[in-house]
Every structure is written in C-alpha cells, then in structure tokens.
Amino acid sequence: METKLGLRANAGQFALLVVVNAFVGGMVGLERTILPRLAEQEFHLVARSAILSFIVVFGLTKAAANYYAGAWANRVGRKNLLVLGWVIGLPVPLLLLYAPSWGWVIAANVLLGLNQGLAWSSTVVMKIDLVGPRQRGLAMGLNESAGYLAVAATAFASGWLATEYGLRPYPFYLGIALAVLGLLGSLLVRDTRHHVALEAAQAPPGPAGPPLSFWDVTWRHPNLGSVTQAGLVNNLNDGMVWGLLPLLLAAKGFSLTQIGTVAAVYPAVWGLGQLVTGPLADRYCKKHLLFGGLLVQGAVLLAMLVVSSYPAFVLLAALLGAGTALVYPTFLAAVAEYAPLAQRAHSVGIFRLWRDAGYAVGALLTGVLADTLGLAAALGVIGLLTVGSALVIYARMHCPLLTLQDPELTGSRLPAPSQYLVPTT
C-alpha cells in the first residue's frame, strides 16, 4: 500500500486511533467521580493529602511513561508501545473492583499511569505522523476531543451507576469492557514509521541548528519552554479539579449524580471544544491561544470561590472546559512545530513528562493546602498559579515572524522552515 501523508489519505487508520484513544480516556473517566468518595466512604480516609495520593502516583507514573514512550518510539515502534500500554492497563478495573484496602487503589493507579502514558502518547505521535505538517492542530483536536469526551461520558456513567447501585461493583464493569476493547483495537493499528520517513524525505531544507536537549524542551527554548511550563500548570489545576472538586461539591450538599454531572460537563466541553480549537492552532499564533485559554482557566477557578449553587458550578465547569480546549491541542501542535522532525517523538515525550507531572505536583500541593488551610485556599492558590502561567506565555513566547503561503490550505499560514528552530538562549 502506497504511503501518503494527510488526514483524508489515512482516514481509516486515523479513525481507528481516535476510537482507541477514546478507550484510553474512558479509563481515566472511570475514576473522576467516584474514587474520592470511595476513599471516604469505604476506606475511611479523612486527610485530603491521603485521598489525593492516587493522583500523585498516577501523575508520576504517567509522566515517566510519557518520557519513555517518546524516547523509545523510534526504537521499539509506536504500535508496540500502544499494545504494551493496554496490556498493562487490563488489570486496573479488576484491582479497583476487588480492592480490600487503599493500597490496592494506589497499585491500580500505578498501572493506570503507565497505561495512559504509553497508550495516549503513542496515539498522539501516530496521528501527527499520519497527517503530516499541515494538519497537526486538527489531528490533535480530534485526538484530544475523543479522549476527553470519553472521560466525560464515563465520569457521568460511573456517577450514575454509583448513585443507582453503589460505588462497587457496577461502575468498574464498565472499566473491564473499556480495557478489553482498547487492547483489541490496538492490535488492528498499523505502525507509522513509513509516514515518518516520507515526511523526512519531503521536508524542505532548513538550518540544521543544534539538537534540542532535555533542558531546551523543559525551559531554555523560549517557545518550547513556555509551552512546557503551561502544560505542567494546566494539569496541576486539572489534578486539583479531579481530586478536590467532588469533595467540595459534596461538602455543599450536592448528590453523586449532580457531582457526576459537573465532573462530566468540564471534560465534555473540553473534548467538544477541541474540534474547533484544534484547527485554530493550524491558522493562528499559538501564543495567543495558550495565553487566552490559561487566563480563562485561572479566572474560573477563582470564581469558584464565590459561587455556591449547582447551576453556577455547571456553568463554571463549562467555561473551565472551554479554556482547557483552547490550550490542549495547541500544546502538542506547538511541540510538533518547533521540534526538529527527528526529535519530534522525544520532544513530545519530554513535554508530556512535565505536563503530567503536574498531576502529582497539583495533588501534593492542593492536598497539603486543603489539610492545613481548607479547600477554598487550595482552590485560590491554584487559580493564581494558572493566571501566572498565562503571564509567562505572554512575556516569553513569540509568534513566528516569517510565513509561507500555501494555496492548498485555503489561506492558512505556516511557519517558515527557519522558524522551526528558535534560538535556545
């Protein structure tokens, strides 16, 4: 079969990867509504930091898996990493279903972090490989949309099942189905190494420049470093929403169904919004999208300090999802744009290492703050950190100065090859 780049030319494989990534997202959504309540009701944990320990181990293991998925992608193969991720994920719902102690939940989240890091990273890189340089934002919008719509659907479904039938066992039967279907779908995926070779052969010549180091992607490269810190802060606030928002809403007297609805609205708008914001990342300066999205997130988190009604929280959850939709596909499209082709997978892995380390940092920070100063203080600090991250983007990131017109893109503009490598000092 002839190898071609582009979404239309690879529609079948791309669609299969979208479905597989929906199953990946569904595995996380399974925990969004019920695990904090499970910690309180069945395992009798009181300290917020103890309850959030499952997010800490999830974030650390997912961050490490992201890094190694990027580092190993060219050597081991994208598909092999994807299948391995699902093999590791198979026991997760069973561990949660039969857990006799909180230690089993921690162990399940170690495996879940490895599953998410390997499987989600693999689908991200494979979609970027398939579509080529012109539609990366669209590809990431579709990828992340599928993943987070599945998060929303399973967050709502697990909340409803828990309300109707109890916290266990029925919500975790859903997880067993997701894990099996995810593995089966991954076995049907074809590796994308030939697409990488084709893009390398078609790439216009540009300045070689020094290879990007770990610390270039982490901070020294002005654009990549700005994107990386924003990714960390984004997942820091997402970890806080994941772990503390259900407890905050429960303290206000909301039912599990209401909590599940709020927990689902946020990733639902996040997921659907990326169908719009993903293509915007192909057309407009990524700095502006990232600054605006982070600013909206920070403002929403601070607004949660002063509202108390259920409709107000639903509205704020929707706005939080909209802000996150602006930044999420833009993160990955930016890393793919500014990293050299040969280092794309590794650079994506480094970015995702720091981004998902935000889950661990957020859970530790908010857990300590909630235990010492209360839930409101934790919410306020994370809101202010998010606003600060937006200001870093505004001050440090820049838009490419040179552009190339491409008539096939109906007027959209791509960075010139000389802009792919920004000075690292």
Domain spans, the chain? 11-194+211-419
Residues 6+ apart with CB under 8 A from 290: 226, 227, 230, 326, 327, 330, 331, 334, 390, 393, 397
pLDDT digits (tens, 9 = 90+) for 153-207: 998 898 889 889 988 899 999 999 999 999 999 999 999 988 988 888 887 765 5
Q: Considering just the CA atoms, what is the radius of gyration of the chain in Å?
A: 20
Query: What value does the mean pLDDT take over residues 369-380?
Result: 93
Angle between helix 78-89 and 102-131 (nearest 10): 160
pLDDT at 407 over 60: no
State residue 180's pLDDT score. 96
The C-alpha angle 238, 270, 302, rounded to 5 degrees, equals: 50
Contact 348, 125 (CB under 8 A): yes
Portion of the chain with pLDDT greater than 90, in percent: 52
By CB atoms closer than 10 A (0-12, 13-18, 19+), residue 1 is exposed
DSSP per position, 221-254: SHHHHHHHHHHHHHHHHHHHHHHHHHHHHHHTT-
From 27-41, 233-247, 324-338, the region with the lowest mean pLDDT = 27-41
pLDDT over 50 (residue 423): no
Write the DSSP string, 308-344. Answer: -SHHHHHHHHHHHHHHHHHHHHHHHHHHHHHS-GGGH
> Which contacts qualify for 399-406: CB closer than 8 Å, 24 or more apart?
399/285, 399/286, 399/287, 399/288, 400/285, 406/134
Task: Judge whether residue 419 has pLDDT over 70.
Answer: no
CA atoms within 13 A on the CB side of 398: 10
What is the reported pLDDT for 417?
A: 35
How many CB atoms within 10 Å of residue 248?
Answer: 20
At 14, list the tokens.
């791309």
62 close to 116: Cβ distance less than 8 angstroms:
yes
pLDDT confidence of residue 209: 57
Percent of the chain with pLDDT over 70: 92
3-state secondary structure of 415: strand
SS3 category, 403:
strand
Tokens representing 210 are: 């020094």
| 71-109 pLDDT, tens digit each | 888 888 899 999 999 999 999 999 999 999 999 999 999
Q: What is the amino acid identity at position 129?
A: D
pLDDT at 313 over 80: yes
CB-side neighbour CA atoms (13 Å) of 233: 28
Can you tell me which residue has the tokens 């934002």?
137
Q: For residues 338 and 92, which has the higher predicted lDDT (pLDDT)?
A: 92
Confidence of residue 409 (pLDDT cuts 50, 70, 90): very low
For the segment 252-261, the average pLDDT, to the nearest whole number, is: 87
DSSP string, 120-140: HHHHHHHHHHHH-TTSHHHHH
Mean pLDDT lowest among 5-14, 41-50, 274-283, 304-313: 41-50
**Cα–Cα distance, 378 to 4 (Å, whole number):** 49
Mean pLDDT of the chain: 87
pLDDT of residue 179: 95
Bond preceding residue 169 cis, omega within 30 of 0: yes
Label residue 381 by pLDDT band (50, 70, 90): very high
Sorted by sequence, the CB contacts under 8 Å of residue 11 that are 6+ apart come out as none
pTM to 2 decimals?
0.80
CATH code of the domain occupying 11-194+211-419: 1.20.1250.20
Terminal CA-CA length for the chain: 44
**pLDDT beyond 80 at 422:** no
pLDDT at 207: 52
Predicted local confidence at residue 98, as pLDDT = 94
Contact 7, 130 (CB under 8 A): yes
Residue 402 has pLDDT above 80, yes or no: no
123 vs 208: which has the higher pLDDT: 123
Rounded-to-integer distance, Cα 253 and Cα 160, Å: 17
- Classify residue 227 by burial, with Cβ atoms within 10 Å: 0-12, 13-18, 19+: buried
Report which secondary-structure segment, H or E, holds 413: strand 413-415
Report the pLDDT value the prediction gives residue 329, as an integer from 0 to 100.
Answer: 87
DSSP helix/strand/coil, 414: strand
Asked if residue 414 has pLDDT above 60, the reply is no
The answer, yes or no, to whether residue 420 has pLDDT greater than 80, is: no
Name 415's bridge partners. Answer: 403
SS3 405: strand
